[in-house]
Homo-oligomer: A and B are copies of this chain.
Amino acid sequence: MQHMTHIEDLGMEGVHAVVEQAMTWKRQHPGRHLEDVLLGMLFFNPSLRTRASFEAVMARAGGQSMVLEAGKGAWAMEHRDGVAMDGERPEHVREAAAVLSRYVDVLAVRAFAGLMDDAEDEADPVMRAFRAHATVPVISMESAREHLCQGLADVLTLRERLGPLQGQPVTLSWAPHIKPLPKAVPNSFLLSAAAAGCQVRVAHPPGFELPAGVRRQAEALAAQSGGEVQYGHEQLEAMAGSRAVYAKAWGPVLPLADEQAAAAMMKAHPDWRVGAGQLAPASADAFLMHCLPVRRDLEVEAALLDSGASAVVDQAENRFHVQRVLLDMAMQSIAGRREVA
């Protein structure tokens, strides 16, 4: 049984295999390869693309899906061990994961970062609890540490537009926002692009460093793939000659001495908004990436989003294609056994 929640579940070769399979199936529909498969999707946080694209995969591949929302339609959930459950959360992940595993074939979970402490978010406690207690494959729909499906869709988008990715310069640029956002998307872009062999340049203002463990892991993947990882505080410098520019807001290094300072930090660099000016030093055919939702004229200039240089809708479509492969791999990993039949 194979969980698909972190890039470590795939490794460099797995990233490559998913992306190539997705390209193949994008050209040639694989048919009803998930027939009789039931996917359970459990959301701790909102979703548009993730939910719609997973539901679409199941519908197109002959399977079925159900959507559960913790704390809304379903019960709020505790994930910590060793606490007396006398608060607001009536259900524990231990039971929820075990029970849902009796009903569904694959369990997909979305649980955003807590945004209190980078170290805690890197440890990814909610997703780890589901991995520990589910008896069917768990797929991440974004966790505190990583957004694996997004990272894979991003690499597929790069691969389709740039061909072989070995040594290709791509830039991940921090962008302004009104409030701190999770680091899962930039983490996963960094990890996936490094695994794919890109020269990944990460640019952000001081104080927005990505978590140390993620950076170490990206460097190890780059070493393995022949890629490279660079960090800097100069946005335009990081753009020079880049083939793709990934704009993304993320929050400061946590914890902060002054918790209230985070929102101000997000607004303190309006000149980092990504627009035509930021793309000027990049390659003439450079394109814009963003995971969506994007705040127009705050993170990214609306005119750039509406231009032919934007790849954001293709990125979103590619969520469908990589998730179809992940679901297929998850089912392969349990071929021959089903809990409820």
Binding site for B on A (CB under 8 A): 29, 38, 40, 43, 46-49, 51-53, 55-56, 59-60, 64, 66-69, 72-75, 78, 81-86, 90-92, 94-96, 98-100, 102-104, 178, 292-298, 302, 305-306, 312-313, 316-317, 320, 339-341
Contact = CB atoms under 8 A, between A and B. Distances in A.
Which label, helix, strand, loop or mixed, suits the secondary structure of the A interface? mixed
Given A38-B56, A53-B103, A56-B340, A48 B296 contact: no
B95 A313 contact: yes
A47 B74 contact: yes
Given A46-B73, A341-B29, A295 B52 contact: no
Nearest to A48: B74
Nearest to A50: B74
A38 B67 contact: no
Nearest to A299: B85
30 contacts: A38-B60, A46-B72, A46-B75, A47-B73, A47-B74, A48-B68, A48-B75, A48-B91, A48-B100, A49-B99, A52-B68, A53-B103, A55-B66, A56-B66, A56-B103, A59-B64, A75-B293, A83-B296, A84-B298, A85-B296, A86-B295, A86-B298, A95-B292, A95-B316, A99-B292, A99-B317, A102-B313, A102-B316, A103-B317, A317-B339
A305 B85 contact: no
Nearest to A28: B341
A313 B134 CA distance: 12
A212 B46 CA distance: 40
How many copies of this kind of chain does the complex include?
Answer: 3
Contacts of A47: 73-74
Contacts of A298: 84-86
Nearest to A97: B313
Sorted from nearest, which 7 A-B pairs have the closest CB atoms? A91-B293, A85-B295, A102-B317, A56-B103, A84-B297, A48-B74, A99-B316
For A43, A46, A53, A74, which residue has the most chain B Cβ atoms within 10 angstroms? A46
Contacts of A90: 293, 295
Contacts of A92: 293-294, 296
